[in-house]
Amino acid sequence: MLVAAGRGERLGGDRPKAFAPLAGLPLLAEPLRRLDEEPLVDAIVVVCPPEWEEQSILVAEDLGASKVSSCVPGGESRSDSVRIGLAEVPEDAAVVLVHDAARPLLPEGVVQRLLDALLQGYDGAVPGLPVVDTMKRVVGDVVTETLPRAELVAVQTPQAFVAPVLRRALGATGEQTDCAAFVEAAGGRVTIVAGDERLLKVTGPADLARAAALLAAERGE
Ligand code: C5P
């Protein structure tokens, strides 16, 4: 599943983030192409910005993305968008992968690492990177705690889950910033696999420029 329904207010512009231009194409195109070309992915549900369904389908058609099984408008929050997307995933799917369209560069090997972790018996697997800065909890303008950095990981997408486990976990109400948080809260076992700097999330204009530079470097431009 590719969640692309965010408004992207921090990016500015007159369109949802998934349609911000990256190397001449809507941002949505790059992650969609990479998921479509990933041999371990069978089908893709695209959760698109409301009122941008037709344009999203056009992006998929222009790419010749043959695995897109449905394109549905998302919800108010990321969690709601994932719930909406999950309803489109066939009941017999064994594994669901949830990826942010805001992370356009999906390096080879990440999906394999996630699926290997599920084969080891975990309910979920997420890519993560070590945290380099010291992390503190702040309430108002007062620091209340310094967190143990060695125990912290910065988590990315795609995230992979045993499908029935994710469905049950997302039956809970409320919002979380990633899917794994629902599975953890439901008592599921989630593990971390090696993440990748190239899985950066496009939030502001500088991230878009960084993603474009990484893409150009990959293409040898
Ligand atoms: O802004 P945020 O970090 O939550 O966005 C992460 C991903 O979730 C983005 O790819 C965005 O398009 C998606 N999202 C969504 N529906 C929302 C909010 C975010 O699909 N309502």
Q: Which helix (H) or strand (E) holds 58?
A: helix 53-63
* Residue 181 · residue 79 · CB < 8 Å: no
Decide: helix, strand or coil at residue 67: coil
Q: CB of 6 within 8 A of CB of 80? A: no
DSSP state of 101: T
| Residue to mutate, 15, 34, 100, ligand 1, most ligand atoms under 8 Å from C-beta | 100
Which amino acid is located at 116 in the chain?
D
Nearest-angstrom CA–CA distance, 14 and 54: 17
Pairing between β-strand 68-73 and β-strand 44-48 as defined by DSSP bridges = parallel
Q: Is the pLDDT of residue 12 over 80?
A: no
1 Cα to the center of ligand 1, angstroms: 12
User: Does the C-beta of 3 come closer than 6 Å to ligand 1?
Assistant: yes
Tell me if 75 CB under 6 Å of ligand 1: yes
What radius of gyration do the chain's Cα atoms show? Answer: 17
For the chain, which residues make up each domain, given as ranges?
2-218
pLDDT in tens, 67-80: 999 999 999 999 99
- What's the CA gap between 45 and 195, in Å, rounded? 23
CB-ligand 1 contact for 77 (6 Å cutoff):
yes
Give the per-residue pLDDT at 59: 98
Please give the residue that has the higher pLDDT: either 13 or 84. 84
List Cα–Cα distances, 163 to 82, 83, 131, 166, 196, in angstroms.
Answer: 12, 12, 29, 5, 24
Helix (H, G, I), strand (E, B) or coil at 166: helix
pLDDT, the chain, mean: 96
Per-residue pLDDT for 221 more than 90? no
Identify the pLDDT of residue 8: 82
Domain 2-218 superfamily per CATH: Spore Coat Polysaccharide Biosynthesis Protein SpsA; Chain A (3.90.550.10)
Ligand 1 pocket residue status of 73, Cβ below 6 Å = no
Q: What is the tens place of the pLDDT at every residue in 124-174?
A: 999 999 999 999 999 999 999 999 999 999 999 999 999 999 999 999 999
Q: What tokens appear for 112 in the block? A: 């394999």
Is the shortest distance between the CB of 72 and ligand 1 below 6 Å? no
Q: How far apart are the first and last CA of the chain?
A: 30
The helix/strand/coil state of 32 is helix
Q: Could you tell me the distance, in angstroms and rounded to a whole number, from the CA of residue 17 to the centre of ligand 1?
A: 9
The mean pLDDT value for 193-202 works out to: 97
Amino acid at 98: V
Is-contact 82 170, C-beta < 8 A?
yes
> pTM for this one?
0.97
| 8-state DSSP, 70 | E
124 in contact with ligand 1, CB cutoff 6 A:
no
Kindly state the tokens that stand for 114. 């996630």
Query: Which residue type is seen at 117?
Result: A
Give the C-alpha separation, 63 to 56, whole Å: 11
